[in-house]
Each structure stands twice: as structure tokens, then as C-alpha cells.
Structure 1
Amino acid sequence: MRRCLLPAVLLTASVMIQSAGAQNSCSKNLAPKAIDGHIDTIIRQMTIDERIEQLQDRAPAIPRLGIHAYNWWNEGLHGLARDGYATVFPQAIGLAATWDAELLHSVGDTVATEARAKFSQHARYDSPRYGGLTLWSPNINIFRDPRWGRGQETYGEDPFLTATLGTNFVQGVQGNDAFYLKANATPKHFVAHSGPEQGRDSFNAKVSPHDLADTYLPAFHEVTTQGKAAALMCSYNAISGTPSCANSSLLQARVRDLWHFNGYVVSDCDAVGNITEYQHYTADAAHGTAAALNAGVDLDCGSSYLALKQAYAQKLVTEETINRSLHRLLLARFRLGMMDPLGCSPYDSISKSDLDTTKSRALALRAAEESVVLLHNDGTLPIKSSEQRIAVVGPTANMLKVLEANYHGTASQGMTPLEGLRESFKTVQYAQGSLLAPGVTAPIPDTAFHIGVEQHSLAGLVAEYFPTTSISGEPLVTSIVDNVDLDLDRVGPDPKIVTPHYSARWHGYFFPPAAGDYTIRVNMERCWDCTAHDHFRLFLDGKLQIKNNSEKFDTDRVKLHFADTAPHEIKLELEHIGEDEGIALEWEPPADALLNEAVAAARDADSIIAFVGLSPDLEGEALQVHLDGFAGGDRTSLDLPAAQMTLLKRLAELRKPLVVVLTSGSAVSLDPGKIGASALLEAWYPGEEAGHAIANILTGRANPSGRLPVTFYRGVADLPAFDDYSMSRRTYRYFSGPVLYPFGYGLSYTLFTYGVPHLGGSTLAAGKPLDVTVRISNTGKVAGTEVVELYLAPPQFPGAPHLALAGIQRVDLGVGKSREITFTVDPAHLSFVDAQGHRSIRPGLYRLFIGGAQPDLAVNTGVAFTIAGTKSMDF
């Protein structure tokens, strides 16, 4: 039963006060017009300056109106990020490799649950950055070129797969209540944003009408119209000369007017300032902010919108436009339950006990197992005997960053591949083998640490943790750790350390594996906008080598020469006084020393498992990395770095079964035939359950079912220029040359066979759905999951792709079992875009393909059908 509206001032106070049980005060009981009227009343009581200040990500409190401060910035790409312990799922590209829409919905739901749990811990209203309910995820940009460092954040190269997974993730995040949202999803970065990272603030993506409609817009259309995303983030770049965040023809005319999007638009951080400062689209900040606001950008990440005060004074924006954006933002807070008493939203009961649960860790394990793609197998896998002597080698076998990727939370029980294999096999010899690349330090492994001066003493370091910033007295916690490689984002190094300020000491003996020159580094992940930073001190043989006792320090590393392999006392001390996000004790030793260790470890093994690839230190957002093959976060080569190739070649010379596991966020051109690999798997950045998942796949406890969401090209020579946004010769849809591994590819330990697909008829009227049925059978020797892929080959008019994915189903089948499955292809997915950018269902002869991989059009003719008539499908 709807209640009457209270007088505006009284209502303003009443809805902001937590009064449990006051269900008649809940916004869900009001008509939409009543809520809108109340929001307008609140806005009228603000000054113009107060209204403008609410349009920033750090919205200040307005106590007289009962409006609490709120920080809109939070991240949930593959788990709740940057706010302490939370479930860390595989990086988005790994989630994409599952081709599992239902899984993405569950992951989104878990991310929102953990955001709610954190929100309740942060006193519900005055939440800090990364403590709110507005998640700036998912990233649904198309991974058009494997050189883009942030491609790892996407769902791959295909618009249909991206739209399907992105929509399910968004729906999982936002929940299923008719009024209240569990959390807000914010698909990004709208639109045509996929590198290069260098110069991204001023980059102009020249996009044809065809490619915009055919490739770059469909996923955004799907997540806003079908997924009902609450928000949208505009990108840094310009699109054909107009900055994305000032592009009214896209943000207003298309997204709001044509798509009927009624959420709010937030800028990428500092993108509004870039309109003037880097893109020189406007003469000054007042005109730049006016361009963004008038185009429909409601919320500015940054402080650029303060210039709206000048823009308003100069009559570049109107009070009505300011009010419109503020109305959208306040409505979003109402729908998140922030403006209502506790108990109104069904999600208010979520608490700390719902954070990082057994259920969420099980989901992370399932996601990691489903994400692994088996690219090659000569029968070596699975390794069924736990008695086998295993050599685990490679720079990514025991690296925390490879589990977590970027935009991540802190795993309370993260397990590296090495740890998982040590659980699964009785005899495991480990060696780091190489660094990722020359000049890139890596955590010093436990093979170089012992707690005593004798070589046979326990490997590792003694860790001591203190509940104050002063290292004195008895430690609260003492333990033995393998190494120092910690993510400490708003958490202590041990669950017993609950104070925001603490100290730690790690000590033992460092054993150089060989004589030579070494670089020792204390790698601290620094909080970029903190007012205070942590202090550390590194001692070797009692001598201070590096320290950071000021806000700025000259170096975080020291170069040392060791004449022999004698042990050296080592001690690292940390005073956590700021908000810095992690610490690692790293090195760059002589390359030969690592190689020789790896060969020695592998010589007596029955099988070698090599973990190689990339890391978020090499590929990622706006990195300061300039090495052979890497530039500013992007890649200039698709090859595995030379140091790791040398390692694989040395291992192959031993003539033992060699299993290679790639960890990366993008395609690596690695031909198993050229390195003598018995098996090759792509594990991406697999999340907190990496160790269990990879061990389960390698031993056959889990059957690989992942599929590539991107094409693995042979090399960059096969690709157009990286900054060319034309889709010609890009992705499986438009690339016609030979590839290393095609989009949609992935092997299993069993064999699936297909019957002939049966269509509802040989002719289909334009605008009608297409029904097709097929029988699939498991004719192999073990149970497994098949990813069934449906592709269409349209008539080859100008602008038509060679192939287009139009259906996905995952099917579990036991040995000897069969199942008949049906696809209903929506008319929208039977439409294609012409050279002028117009989408329509066109008449002509089509071919349909159903199987466990992308079809080879040279040998597979598919099933033909005809579409009669024409139907416009522009959006």
C-alpha cells in the first residue's frame, strides 16, 4: 500500500536515517513519479555549487539535507578489487575462455555480494574509495588486437560472445529485485577503445560506420537494452575526431534516444580533463566540462567538473542540464537503498559473513578449471600417477601477480600452481628457471632462502608480524614463509593483524645459486594517491642496503656481486604507516644460474611441467615498461620472451615429457612442435584457485573444456598497424590467413561427435527466429563438457564477415551418452552490417555450422538455408 508523501524537508531527513522496520518509508513503495518529485525537491534545496560538487566521484556530504558523502569509484572486474580480502576469480579473459554465461552470472552475483559485505563494514554510507556499490565493470571493449595490454580485461574478440557474457555478468551484479539493485554495473569503455596505451589520453580512433555498428557497438547495446546496466563509462579516446566523453551523437542520440538507456554515464578517470588538456577539443576547462555535461556525462571521475562553476557562470551549461545529471545520480543512490532505512532493500542483510566464503572459493575453482584451454596434447596428459617425479620450472609457477592479474582483490587462501602440484604429487622438484624477461625482477624463490646457515635447514624465511608500526618486543605472529611476495591492499600480512598500521620483519639466509652479479629489489606497490607511504629497510650481512624513510626515495634496488654460493644473512623490515598495497623481495640473478638450476631439477624427473608466459608487470594499463617486445603496457611482439624460450629449449634437450602451461592475458605465439612440447595449455591469469585448478586439469581430475576467446596469430607480421581501428584483417570474422590456433579452439581428454543439424525449414522469412537441433555424443573414454558453437556464414556482400558466432551451449556428457540440443537464433543475430553501417537481415543463401570449434570453410560446407525478404535492424 503506497503511503502519502511527507513534506519535502521532513522526508529528506527521514529517508536518510536508519530506522529498522520502517517499511512504509521504503522507496520501493512509492510510484516512480513520486520518487522523481522527491529527488527534484532535494535538488532545489541545494546551491548550484553543491549540485556541481555532487557530480564528482568523491561526492561530499550535505549534512543539512541528510546527504552523506559517497565515493562512486569501485572495481569488480573479476572479483571485488582493492579493498582487502575478497574472492579472486580468473581474469576476465579467462572467464571468457569458459564460454559459460551462467558462470558469469554467478561471478557477477558474488562480486555484488562481496561489495555489499564491504559496504556494511564501511558504516554503509560514508564509504571510502573501493568501498561502495557502484562497480566500474565489466570491460566489454572488443579485443581487436592481441598487442593491447588491457585486452586481458575483456571477454575477447567477438561481439556475440562479449555481449552474451557481459549481459549475464551485469545481471548477476545487479540482482533480481524489481526496484533495488544489489550493486550497479558499469560497462566500459564506451566506445572503440582498445589501445594503444601510450598516448591514450589524446588518441583518435578513426572508425568507419561499418566497424562501429558491426564490431564496437553491439555488446554495449546488449548490456544496456537486455542487461539493463545501471551505468555506462565513456572512454579516454576520441572517435573520428570527437572525444568519447563529449560525443553527443553517441551518448545522447544513440544511447539515450535510440537505445532508451536511462542510467547515468561516468567518465573514465580524468577523461573530461583530457578533452581540453590532451585532445585540445576545447579552448579551456570551462568549455571542456560543458561539452561533457551537455553530451550526457553525469559523473566525472576526477575533479574536472569543478570547472562547471565557471561554465555555468558563462552560460555554457544550464541549471536544467546540471539538475538532469544530478537527478540520475540521486536516483541511482535510491535504487541502491542508500537513501532508505535499513531493511528496505533485500540486500541489506548481507554482512561480513558473506565475504570470501567456501561457496565463493568453490566458484573460483570451477571458473579456473573451465577457463583452461588445452591447445596440444600427444597423450601425455592427463598424468594419472601421483608417484611420478615431477619437475616444476618456470618464472610463473609460483608468482602471486600471475594469479591475481590487474583490478584484483586479495585472496585469503590463494594457491599458486607450484603449491597445487606439491599437493598432488609426492615428489616435486622446483626451479624458477628464468625471469619473465631481462630487466624484469621476480620474487626470490624459496630455493634461495633457508632459515638457518646450513643448506639442509628449512627452506624459506622467518616472518614476524607486530601489531604496531614499531618493530619491538615480541611479535604477535611468527611463521615460516616461502618468500616475500605479498598483496597487502587494506589487509595485514596475517589475518591476526587487524590494525591498519603494523610492522613486519622477514629474516633468514640468502643462498646465491651461483657466483656473479645480482640485483636485489624491494618492490612496493605504492598507493598512487596516498598522503603517507610505507617504510622499509633491507639488510644483508647486517649492513643496510636500501631504505625508504621518506615520501620519495631514489631507488628500490641494489646491485651486488657474490664471489661464491656462501650464505648471507638477510633481513627485510616493513613499517606499514600508509596505504601501500603490497611488498615483494625480488631479484635479477645471472641467467645461467637459473637455467642450470632448472636443468638439474628436471634431469631426474619423469615429467617436466614448465610455467611460462607474461604477467601484469609486462602487459597492462599505462605501464612504464619499455623492453624488447613490450612498450608502455602493450606488446610489440606476440612471441614468448627470449629468456623463457631459451629455458624451454634447454628443457626439451632432456628428451622427457614436457608439459607447457602458458599464463598470460593475451595470445602468445608458441608452437609446441618448435619447442618439443608434449602438451600445451593456456591458463590465462587463473585467480586464487589456480593451484587446485591446474593440478586437477593436469591429473585428469577435471577435463579441460575452455575455448579460445581470441585468435592466436602466428606473429605481428600478419596484423595491420596496431593503431589502425579498421577491422579488416582482424579477428576470425575478417582475418583470412593461417593462424596458430583459431578463435573457439580447445581440446578435451574425450571425444565428441555430432549428428547432422536439423533446421525448422530450408527457407526463413526475414525477422523470424531460426530453430536448429543437433545430437551430440561422447564417444571417448571419460566424461567431459563440450562447448557447442554455432556459426553463420552470410552471403558475402561488402562488409560481411567470413563467419559469425551466433550460439553457445555447454553440454555435460558421460561416457557413451548422447543429448539432443536445440538452438533458437534470435533474428538480431541473423542481421549483418553493410559498408555504410546499416544493419539488416538480408535475403540470400546462408550456411550454418555447429561443432566444438570454429569450422574450416575450406572443407566444411555446413547446412544451407535461405532467408527471404529484408528487415532493418539498425540500433
Structure 2
Amino acid sequence: MNKIIVTILFVVCAFSFAQNYKYPFRNPDLPVEQRIENLLGLLTVDEKIGMMMDNSKAVPRLEISAYGWWNEALHGVARAGTATVFPQAIGLAATWDVPEHLKTFEMISDEARAKYNKSFDEASKTGRYEGLTFWTPNINIFRDPRWGRGQETYGEDPYLTSVLGVAAVKGLQGNDPKYFKTHACAKHFAVHSGPEWNRHSYNAEISKRDLYETYLPAFKALVLEGNVREVMCAYNAFDGQPCCANNTLLNEILRGKWKYNGMVVSDCWALADFYQEKYHGTHPDEKTTAADALKHSTDLECGDTYNNLNKSLASGLITEKDLDISMRRILKGWFELGMLDPKSAVHWNNIPYSTVDSKEHKEQALKMAQRSIVLMKNEKNVLPLDKNIKKIAVVGPNADDGIMQLGNYNGTPSSTVTILSGIKTKFPNAEIIYEKGSEVADPSSRTSLYQNFVSQKNGEKGMKVEFFNNNEFKEKPVNTSVNKTGITYNSFGGTQLAPGVARENTSARISGVFKSSYSGEVIFSASTSDIYTLLIDGKEIATRKGPDARHPSEFPVKMEKGKEYLVELRHSQKGKYVSIGFEVYRKDPVNFNSVKEKVKDAEVIVFVGGLSPSLEGEEMLVNAEGFKGGDKTSIELPKVQRQLLAELRKTGKPVVFVLCTGSALGLQQDEKNYDALLNAWYGGQSSGTAVADVLAGDYNPSGKLPVTFYKNLEQLDNALSKTSKHQGFENYDMKGRTYRYMTEDPLYAFGHGLSYSKFTFGNAKSSKNSISPNENITITIPVTNTSERDGEEVVQVYVKRNNDPLAPVKTLRAFEKVLIKAKETKDIQLKISEESFKFYDEKADDLVSKPGDYTVFYGGTSKNSDLKSTQLKVK
């Protein structure tokens, strides 16, 4: 009887509680599907369409706020104020450390929730870069080192990418059974990895085998293992259909074979490429584009083509039921994240803002920077350096560049330690001689004169920057500031130029008083995407009439020492994106002899060079030899750096090359000019400390390469398949590409990485020598640290299908990073899953278990001569 009374009271209370909600969709205790159907029935067609774009419109009558779906967190929360900046994704991949990778993304999502909580509390709405939906990670395969966005990926291997991608998703989305901490997004689906310059028109054509064995496994893992809640379709076309309306990719594979029930979001303004003849030109107009994308299950558009869905409805191209299919997935996202629930119902809302840039997160940024560093070469044990060293020369364009360390799609750290600063701190008793030596790619030496600017007569240091939300400098500026560090603004990737500034139809007026520090030519360099005019003392020095002039231009102006000049740059936006760069500098030929003379007495020369995210990245405007549109046309080190390295070698002193890069370089011709090679990638806010720790031996390097370092570009291109109509970089065939299909020895192999410890591998034992299809096995590998120093090794297992000429040479199938103490032997057990023996089958049109003989390779690298092997039969 008491149980009946309790039950009745519970039902009455629950019913009473539910009555407090104006609409059932507001009741967090109801099943999500029921809430979705209620809200769907309340929305008008116009309201639905308004919620199907990244800038989701508010529905005031239902008390639904506006929401910006677009947010970024590639290696830390990006574009949203202060945040912890971890190493760029390619550097995170080089750690080969899944537990720490997961921990890193748990911290990133903590900062993301904290920022969301603060912004929503203050404004009761969220705009771009303020929401909970993060378009991360980028799990495209870095198939060619020329791709500028390869730095955003986890490298060239499908398995490594899958494992790290799943960890990133789990770290972002959390483990709460009811509410996701944030949404993650698997991008860019699929067969997408450059070139940047033609991504809006390129049509990728590959074999089904390459599709299923190389380009799809990571996406499949994130969908089936990671439960990723969003998938972003790519700009390019695949087999003649744009990816955001691709039947094979979206309907047959993603929604069909994988039963994916989450959201598909378009890449930004990708749908606009459908109906523009200069791009894909596959569709006649906006309404046809919108209808086709919707029917192919692109739910949410980043862009504004879906504004035409009303026209699609009126023309009979779609029905409201088609809208509802996508709306159900979109609304599910709102409920999954708790965005329509009381704040107290979602425990993630309790994450305080103090977690942002916290001490613990800073320590993790340093740890990941340390673990990402790859010691690629160490002849004569030049490293680690003697702690009592008296004189160190630090040379190179990246030595004191904190911006370079942040990579692309980055946040803003509260502080950054450059490599030069890290070395100075680590060796306080040594004399540090610093010489920049050269620019990254410019054959001339530049001395910046920006510090000679004041915002106005007797004003503060820097230039005055005024932004207008029109392209004619009308009315009052919407944002005014004094830029003390340098003029670099761009909206590529959707970056906001400044608070309050619109995405389109803007103008900027940048002005200041320049006082020349010498008599002679002063170089003014304007790099903009649209119309601009450069004036000095009211006289027009340079102008560009439109976006046809897309490259930086230099304008030498004769000036007198001590004289003041009024400088003004006016920029007017006409195109989709804004790019404004303005520099002033003195330009002189690089004096290699002078640099050599200044450093000749040092005990060691640390050369810090490589590339820069200002040269490689997403659809960039770059004018430098060896670079095009954000990609590389050459994989060599820029010529001026090669020359500088050669001159430094002539000193006879040991040279340590600290390489900062987001991609592999062909360094064969430079190998003779350095004794040690340390790859620091774009290591994030603490890169300088991490590099110094490794140089001093306070941290024992443990990173491994997630990409192949080819000897030169010829080695790559000569090995590529000749069957594709596309050649070189534009060829998506895998034959001859990456360690999986390469038959020659590269300069440095995938999985390569040295340590200050020495490891040997004993003979492995397998739990079985013969297995049935769909059966796992365990392999036990004894690893000994033969040195006097504790160290970490990454134990790697590769599988080769014998007697199959189309199969990869070998493929990574398991790995683990382990700490092994000095003189210790550890038995490392690794599971080789049933997926390791699946290959493409034409009849099944999918991956299936293949019987036959297999070779299992194991070691600390993918290099053939350093691997051991055992045989296995699949029945």
C-alpha cells in the first residue's frame, strides 16, 4: 500500500513539475525524441529555415536564442580570446600518446564550456566562436607534404589518425550519459587534402580500394567508435558530385552503411561553389543547390544558400518533410548540449571560467610540446648540450617568433615562450649570441621599422586602426584601436577582423605618423585582398583597383632621417574575404659573412628555421618562391635558409637545426650542414621551454614522425601512380605515396624518432599463429632499455598482406608509448584487432576479412631495416 502511495505522489509531483514548462520541449525529463517532435510542430517553415544555417536565427516567441554553430578548437579553443594553445595537430600526432591526447582535449572542452557559460550568462545568446559546437578534428589524410593544411591533421596514416581522432572526440564530447560537453566534428568528408588554390573546383577521382583503405577509415572510426555528433562535408567534388551533395559519400556510406544519425554540416560557403561556373558549376542556381544538398543529408549550412530553401519548396524541389528530416538532427543537437534546458540541469554549466588558462592547462601545454618534439638526427651525440656550456649562438628566422609557434586555427595564449627565450632561461650562465640571419623565405634581410610609428602627432606608439561596416568609410567606425605590434588582419576561415566588424562590405582606415630613423629608402609593403590606397602626406603612393592584385607589393620611398610623415592605408572590401597586411622596413642583402663572423666563437650553433604558418595554411595569399595559395610547390627548405646553414657549417662548430614546420621537408641536400635535427613543429605557447628542455637534456625526447620525410620532391613524384589524369600533388592515388605504398627508402621514415636512451627489441610471441576471420590476437614484444637513462619508446606493430600486389607494403595496426627504465626489459602486450586483416573487396564493396598469409612487423619505426617480423595465417 505504501508503495502505491509513493508512486502516486511521484507521478503527481512529476506532472506538477512538468506543468511549470510552457511547452513540452522545455521539459528536460521528457524523452528527447518527444521534445524534438513537439518543437518541430511549433516551428513555422521560415523559422525552421532560419535555424538551418550556422548563424541560427532566434525564435523569440518560443524563447529560443540566436546561436552560432561555428566554433574552432583544433589545438585549443580558437578565435575566442585568451585560451591555452597546445601544439599544432601535427605536433600532437607526433606524441603518439593517446592517453595524454585525450587529457588535452578534455582540458580544451573544459575551457570551451567555461567560455560558453560566461558568454551566455552575459548576453543570453551566443555568436560565432562562442558556442559549444566545435568543427574539430581534421582527420583528412596528409597524403602529400605540399598540402598547407596538412599541419591540421594527424598525419599520413589511417590508423594513427583514427586512434587520435577518436580520443579528440571523446575528450571534446565528454562521458555524461545525458548531455554532451561539446560537439566534435569529423572533417572534411571526404577525399580532401588540397591543393588549396583549386579546392572549390577540384574533382577527386580514386579507386574504391584507396577510398575504403585510406580515405574513409578515420571517418568510420569517429562515427562508429567515437559517436561524433557532427560531420563536415568538403569543398571539392568526388566522382563528379560536390561532396556536400554526394550520393556515394553521404547517402550510401555515411547514412547507409554506417547508420550515422548525427548532423552533417557544410564547409563554409561550399554550397556557393555548386552554382558558380568558375568553381564546380554543377547546379543552375541557388534553389536547386539548396534542394540537392538537403536531399543528400547536408543538414546545416555554413553560409547563406539555405536562405533559398523557400524557393526550393515553392518550386516543388523539396517538401516540408525534407526540411523536417534535417531539422530533427539539428534540434537533437540543441537538446544533447542542454542548450534549451535549465542551466542547473546540465552539470557542465558548473565549469568555472578560472579553468581557462589555468596552471594545470599551462603545464599540459608544456608537456605536450615536450612529447611532440622528434629528435631526427644526433650525430656524435651532439645533444644534449653540456649544462656548463659558456657560449651558444642562436641563429634563424624562427628563433624569436612566438606567432609562428601557434600554427593556424589557433587561440590566443596569455603568454608565449619563444625558442630564444627558452634557451636564455635554460642556460642562464651561458653567453647567448642571437642573430636572426634571414627571413623565412625572403632572400633579403628585413629590419622592421614599425616601432617608428605613433598613432597621431605626439600620440601613443603604433598605428590607429578604424573599421567601418560599409566599404566606403561612411558614418562612424564600429571599432577603433591602436595596433602596437603590426598590421595583420584577415577573415579567412571566418575570423572576425575585430569586435563588432561584419564579415562583408567592410572598410578599414589605418593611419599613423612615421619618423624615419635614417636617410634613404624605406620600404612600405601593402598586402591586401581588395581595393586599397596607400598615401604618404596625402600623396597617393600606390593603389589597387580590385581583388585581381592579390600579392604583396613593395613600395620604396626615399625619406630623410628625423623627418615625420603622415602615412595612411585605406582598404575597401569587395570580395568574400578580407586580408590586410601592412609592413614598413629597411631592406638589405643578407650578409652571410657578417652572421658567420658574429657566431664563429660559439661552442655550438642552434639554427632555428623551417617554415611558418604565414606561408603554409588554408587558401592563403602568398607571394614567395616555392609556395602557392597556402600550399608548397617545393618541399625544400627555402633557399635563403639553405645558404645560411651552409655558411654556418663553415665555422667548424657543431650545428643543431631546430626545425619548425607543419609539414615534411626534403632536406637531403642540407643534411651535411647540421649535426643534429630536432623537429619542434609549431609547438604552441610553451614551445620555447620544451625545445630548451630537450637541448639541455632535462627532457628525454620521445616523439615519432607522423609523416614520411622524403629525400626530395623527385623521390615522391617519381614514385606516384601514372594512371591518374592528375599528376603530382593533384593526383590522389596512393600508389608510391606515404610509407604504406613507398618502396624506396625515404630520408626519415614514418614512425622515426631518436631518444637519449637506447632500446632493443627481442623476439615477439603471438597468442596464436593461425586465426579465424574476425578474430583478434595478442602479440607480446620484449623491449630493453640498454642505456643508463630512463626513456620512453613507442612500440609499433605493422601488418602486411602477403601475395597481394595491391595491398600496402605495410600498415600500422597497433602501438603504445611506454616508459622503460634504464637497463629494464618490459614485455609489451599489444592487441591486433580483427580490423587489421580487412581489405577492400569488390563484391562486398567494403572492407572484409581476407584469408591468407600475413607478415607482422614490429619495432620503434616503420623503417624496414630496423624492424623484426613474425608470420601469421588467417584461415
Aligned residue number for residue 244 of structure 1: 243
SS in 1 for 2:861: coil
In the other structure, the counterpart of 1:432 is 436
Comparing 350-359 with 119-128, greater Cα deviation is found at 119-128
Counterpart of 1:513? none
Q: For the residues of structure 2 that align with 1:328 and 1:441, how far apart are their CA atoms?
A: 55
Asked if 2 retains the 8 angstrom alpha-carbon contact of 1:74 and 1:134, the reply is: yes
Report the secondary structure of 1:106's partner residue.
Answer: helix
State which of 716, 719, 725 in structure 1 corresponds to 2:713.
Answer: 716
| 1:786-797 alignment, distance < 5 Å | 786-797=793-804
Deviates more, 1:806-815 or 1:160-169: 806-815
The question of whether the paired residues in 2 share the 8 Å contact of 1:775 and 1:820 is answered with: yes
Aligned-residue offset at 1:8:
10
- What is the Cα deviation at residue 199 of structure 1? 1.3
Match of 2:590 in 1: 592
Matches within 5 A, 1:6-17: 11=21
Closer, same or farther: CA 861–182 of 1 in aligned 2, 3 Å: closer
Q: Is the 8 A contact 2:370 2:701 kept in 1?
A: yes
Most deviating of 327-336 and 2-11: 2-11
Q: Distance in 2 between matches of 1:407 and 1:692?
A: 22
* 3-state SS of 1:187 partner: strand
SS of equivalent residue, structure 2 residue 321: helix
Unaligned 5+ segments in structure 2 are 1-9, 468-477, 498-502, 535-551, 721-727
For the residue of structure 2 that corresponds to 1:616, the secondary structure is: coil
1:403 and 2:378 are equivalent in the alignment? no
- 2:532 maps to 553
The 5-angstrom pairing of residues 254-333 of structure 1 reads 254-277=253-276, 278-333=279-334
The answer to whether the 8 Å contact 1:487/1:583 transfers is no
Report if the CA contact (8 A) 1:410-1:487 is conserved.
no
Larger mean CA deviation between 7-16 and 57-66 belongs to: 7-16
Separation in structure 1 between the aligned mates of residue 806 and residue 586 of structure 2, nearest angstrom: 50
Do 2:658 and 2:680's aligned partners in 1 also have CA atoms closer than 8 Å? yes
- Contact 1:375/1:680, CA 8 A, preserved across alignment: yes
CA contact (8 A) 1:15 1:340 kept: no
SS of the residue corresponding to residue 137 of structure 2 reads: coil
Task: Name the residue aligned to 1:811.
Answer: 818
In 2, the alpha carbon distance for the partners of 1:117 and 1:584 equals: 35
Structure 1 position 439, deviation (Å): 7.4
Instruction: Output the CA distance in 2 between the equivalents of 1:604 and 1:363.
Output: 37
**Which amino acid in 2 is paired with 1:30?**
L
Matched residue type, 1:851: G
Q: Which residue is 1:481 aligned to?
A: none
Q: Name the SS of the counterpart of 2:864 in structure 1.
A: coil
Query: Deviation at 1:388?
Result: 2.8
- Structure-1-length-normalised TM-score: 0.85
Counterpart code for 1:164: V
- Cα distance in 2, alignment partners of residues 485 and 105 from structure 1: 42
Superposition CA RMSD, Å: 3.5
AA paired with 2:426? Answer: S
- Within 1, Cα distance between the matches of 2:59 and 2:398? 49
Tell me: CA distance 1:770–1:644, structure 2 relative to 1, closer, same or farther (3 Å).
Answer: same
Residue 840 of structure 1 is matched in structure 2 by 848
Partner of 2:212: 213
Q: Deviations over 1:306-365 (max 9, x none)?
A: 111111111111111101211211111111111011121111011221101111111111
Q: Secondary structure at the match of 1:347?
A: helix
Q: Could you tell me whether the CA contact under 8 Å between 1:672 and 1:680 is conserved in 2?
A: no
In the other structure, the counterpart of 2:746 is: 739
In 2, the alpha carbon distance for the partners of 1:599 and 1:145 equals: 35
Measure how far apart 1:101 and its partner are.
1.0
Judge conservation of contact 1:733–1:803 (CA < 8 Å) in 2: yes
Residues 820 and 149 of structure 1, relative CA distance in 2, 3 Å threshold: same
Q: What's the counterpart of residue 827 of structure 1?
A: 834
Measure the CA separation in 1 of the matches of 2:583 and 2:397.
15
CA distance in 2, matches of 1:83, 1:441: 34
Instruction: Please report how far the alpha carbon of residue 762 of structure 1 lies from its aligned counterpart in structure 2 after TM superposition.
Output: 1.6
Distance 1:585 1:414, change over 3 A: farther
Q: Is the contact made by 2:636 and 2:712 (CA closer than 8 Å) also made in structure 1?
A: yes
Aligned match of 2:516: 541
Contact 1:505-1:571 at 8 Å conserved across structures: no
CA distance in 1, matches of 2:583, 2:355: 33
Does the CA-based 8 Å contact 2:465-2:508 persist in structure 1?
A: no
Once the two structures are overlaid, the 10-residue window that deviates more, 1-10 or 830-839, is 1-10
Q: What is the alpha-carbon distance in structure 2 between the residues aligned to residue 370 and residue 135 of structure 1? A: 25
Amino acid at match of 2:802: P
1:117 paired with 2:92, answer no
Query: Is residue 369 of structure 2 the alignment partner of residue 394 of structure 1?
Result: no
Deviation at 1:262, TM superposition (A): 1.3
User: Is residue 2:874 matched to residue 1:867?
Assistant: yes
* One-letter amino acid matched to 1:402: M
1:765 aligned to 2:765? no
Cα–Cα, structure 1 residues 364 and 866, in superposed 2: closer, same or farther, change >3 Å? same
The alpha-carbon distance between structure 1 residues 608 and 300, as it changes in their structure 2 partners (threshold 3 A), is same
1:49 shift after superposition: 1.5
Counterpart residue number, 1:347: 348
Of residues 660, 664, 667, the one that matches 2:664 is: 667
Structure 1 residue 12, shift from structure 2 partner: 5.2
CA contact (8 A) 1:463 1:504 kept: no
Name the CA distance, whole Å, in 1 between partners of 2:205 and 2:445.
Answer: 38
SS of the residue 1:727 aligns to: coil
Aligned to 1:496: none
Larger mean Cα displacement after TM superposition, 680-689 or 814-823: 814-823
| Deviations 1:462-483 (CA, angstroms, capped at 9, x unpaired) | 999xxxxx979998xx9xxxxx
Shift, 1:586, TM fit? 5.9
- SS for the counterpart of 1:589 is strand
Contact 1:107–1:172, Cα closer than 8 Å, also in 2: yes
* 2:603 paired residue number: 606
- Inter-partner Cα distance in structure 2 for 1:365 and 1:65: 46
Provide the aligned length of Structure 1 versus Structure 2: 803
SS at match of 2:340: coil
Query: Following superposition of structure 1 onto structure 2, how do residues 682-701 of structure 1 map, counting pairs within 5 Å?
Result: 682-701=679-698
The aligned counterpart of 1:494 is none
Tell me if the contact between 2:104 and 2:364 (Cα under 8 Å) persists in the aligned partners: yes
Instruction: Supply the distance in 1 between the matched residues of 2:15 and 2:242 (Cα, whole angstroms).
Output: 42
| 2:676 paired with 1:679 | yes
Could you give the per-residue CA deviations for residues 459-506 of structure 1, whole angstroms, max 9, x where no partner exists?
A: xx6999xxxxx979998xx9xxxxx999999xxxxxxxxxx9664475
Q: Which moved more, 1:7-16 or 1:156-165?
A: 7-16
CA offset at residue 121 of structure 1? 2.1
SS in structure 1 of the partner of residue 532 of structure 2: coil
Percent identical across equivalent pairs?
Answer: 36
CA distance in 1, matches of 2:191, 2:424: 44
Given that residues 400 and 486 in structure 1 are in contact (C-alpha distance below 8 angstroms), is that contact kept between their aligned partners in structure 2? no
Equivalences for residues 69-218 of structure 1 within 5 A: 69-124=66-121, 125-218=124-217
Name the counterpart of 2:655: 658
Residues 158-217 of structure 1 show CA distances to partners (whole Å, capped at 9, x for unaligned) of: 000000000000000000100101110001000000011111111100021111111011
How far off its partner does 1:861 sit? 5.9
- Which deviations, in whole Å up to 9, do the C-alpha atoms of 1:233-281 show, x marking residues without a partner? 0001111111111013321222123212111000000111212222122
For 1:613, the aligned partner's letter is G
CA-CA distance at 1:590 after TM superposition: 1.7
Is the deviation greater in 826-835 or in 401-410?
826-835
Q: What are the superposed Cα offsets for residues 265-306 of structure 1, whole Å, 9 maximum, x if unpaired?
A: 000001112122221222221111111100000000000101
Q: Residues 834 and 256 (structure 1 numbering): CA distance in 2 closer, same or farther, change over 3 Å?
A: closer
Q: Is the 8 A contact 1:184 1:231 kept in 2?
A: yes
Spell out, residue by residue over 1:504-531, the C-alpha distance to the aligned partner (whole angstroms, 9 max, x if none).
4759xxxxxxxxxxxxx84444646264
Shift of 1:844: 1.7
Contact 2:186 2:232 in 1 (8 A): yes
Paired residues of 1:265 and 1:299 also in contact (CA < 8 A): yes
For the pair 1:30 / 2:30, whether they are aligned, the reply is yes
| SS at 1:183 equivalent | coil
Deviates more, 1:837-846 or 1:600-609: 837-846
Contact 1:538 1:547 in 2 (8 A): no
- In structure 2, C-alpha distance between the alignment counterparts of 1:8 and 1:798, rounded to whole Å: 65
- Residue of structure 1 aligned with 2:640, choices 643, 646, 649: 643
Task: Please tell me whether the aligned partners of residues 142 and 157 of structure 1 are also in contact (alpha carbons under 8 angstroms).
Answer: yes
Counterpart for residue 233 of structure 2: 234
- The 1-side partners of 2:832 and 2:797 are apart by 9
What's the offset of the Cα at 1:536?
Answer: 3.7
Kept in 2: contact 1:57–1:71 (CA 8 A): yes
| CA deviation map 1:384-410 (0-9, x unaligned) | 324331111111111233211110001
